[in-house]
Structures are given as structure tokens and as C-alpha cells.
Amino acid sequence: MVVGRFAPSPTGPLHTGSLVAAVGSWLMAKSSGGRWLLRIDDLDRDRCRQQFEDDILRTLERFGLAWDGAITRQSDNTAAYAAAFEQLRTAGYVYPCGCSRAEIARSASAPHPGEEVPYPGTCRGGLYGGRAPRAWRLRTEGRTVSFDDLRHGVMIHNFATSGDFVIKRVEGFFAYQLAVVVDDHLTGVNQVVRGDDLLDSTPRQALLHHLLGWPLPQYCHLPLVTGPDGAKLSKRDNSVSLADGRVAGREDRLLAWALGFLGLDAPPEQQGGTCSELLNWAATVFRPELLSGPG
């Protein structure tokens, strides 16, 4: 059985881009008779707020996006992250790193505007100069990983171009890359549908799945909803929160727009009904091929 999920971060209200991700992941799971889970990605303790989580839940309900089972939260999974980290450390895949971000940036042989600078491997052979660790990195050994994306096809990444990456901070915080892999494994998620902005993170997560001995989910990265300037929408833009007076009473039209963005235009007889009715219709006619091809 397909098990998909939607995993919003409660750092702000849902916007049109997150609505597309929610609808897309719901359709992919439900059109094949699967389950759709809801996880709250509250790893960023400084920015997450209960008021945003409450708003997200109410918004999903008003759009007819009913989840299966209990809601899970990253804040409840710290022990599982620690166990996965220890498994990797025991296998020799983890090492402490004392480099600052400024030092890593200065070590780059060429500028990387707007991109994360590849880690040069300074601490791979051990901490030097009496330094204390700032983080723990995954030893990638220049491995090559591949995964099959529904829209983009087979994606191949060689870690020689990106280097070792952080999976835990010295303060004890686990990195997003490790956390989401553990989260999906704990709940049996085997289908991950999300926006193209997370496509670059997927090789790291695929490598972690491999090193931990866990099966790789099926991935599908959806096109991003952008503003007039082509930039990705922020949580402050185009809110679909019920707290926004422009949204209440227009949920069915916004949902029809999201379906259209995903290639599924509702016929006249399906317009004007409830969001649940529109989603039930969409689940019966949706085909993953509607999403194929980058766009």
C-alpha cells in the first residue's frame, strides 16, 4: 500500500505553494488507494509556533484534506534520531568537525553564489589545533547515489562535488536531512511528494536511507508556485490561512486552482460543490502521468 505524507513546518501559515504540495501528495496517495499521513516538522524550535500549527490544521480541514491516523511531530522523535546517529557513528560514517561556516567559505576555490559551499574535508582525518567540534558530519567518501523521480526521471549525484554534510550540531540539534529520513522510516512512508525546492536535498536523504539499511521511498518533486518575478513564494505571500479574510468562502475555488496547477481541470459539473466532493472526484480521475515532465 502506498503511504504518503504532508509535513509542514509551523513557522507561518500555509500559502498557495504549500497548498499545491498538500493536494499533490494527497492525490498521489489517495488515487492509488493509499494512506496520507500528516507530520508537523517542528525541528526548528526557535521559529515554530503553536498558533501556526493550529492554523495549519484548521486550514487543511477546511480544504477537505483529511489525514489518516494520528498526527506525528518531529519534537517527539529525538530518541529515534539519536539511535540513527549512533548507528551511523558506530559504523564509522560520522566524524566531528570544528570548522566554522566562514572558514568553509574561505576554503572554496571558486565562488558559489546562492549555493551551499562544498565542505573541503578539513576535519575528515581528525580535529586539529585543539579545536572543539561544532558539528558532526556524514562521511560521504565521494559516493554516487541515484533515485527515480516521477517528474525528473533518474537523478544521479556524486558527493565528490558537494562533500560531507552535517547531520548533528554540537548543541544537540539533529539536522533536517537525518530527521526526515528517520521520520519517514518510523511511519512507513514509501512515497514522498513535495516541491522542487527540496530536490537538491534528496541525494543526501537517499544516501542516509542506504547507509541505515532502509528502503528508498518513491519521490515526486512538484513544480513550484512562483510570483510574477519567478521567485518562490514565501509563507508571507499568498496565504491560504482562514485567518486571512480573503480566503474564507473561497476554499473551493482555491482548491480548483491547485488541481488545475497539477494538471487536473475540474469540469463544470464538479464546480460549486464542497472541497471534499471536489477532492473525491479528483482522486478517481487523477493519473501520475499528469505530473510527468519538468515544468
| 249 lies in some domain | yes
- 247 versus 137: the higher-pLDDT residue is 137
| 283 lies in some domain | yes
Residues of the chain with pLDDT > 70, as a percent, come to: 91
Give the model confidence (pLDDT) of 111-136 as tens digits.
Answer: 544 456 889 999 999 997 778 999 99
User: Looking at the 3D structure of the chain, how many domains does it have?
Assistant: 1
| 56 lies in some domain | yes
Asked if residues 240 and 59 have their Cβ atoms less than 8 Å apart, the reply is yes
| 112 lies in some domain | no
| 184 lies in some domain | no
pLDDT score, position 245: 65
Domain that holds residue 263: 3-74+217-291
Beta strands (DSSP E) in the chain are 3-6, 35-40, 72-73, 94-97, 135-138, 144-149, 153-158, 165-169, 191-195, 218-222
Distance of CA 249 to the CA centre of its chain: 29
Computed over every residue of the chain, the mean pLDDT equals 91
Q: What does the pLDDT average to over 88-105?
A: 93
| 114 lies in some domain | no
pLDDT score, position 294: 46
Return the CATH number at 240.
3.40.50.620
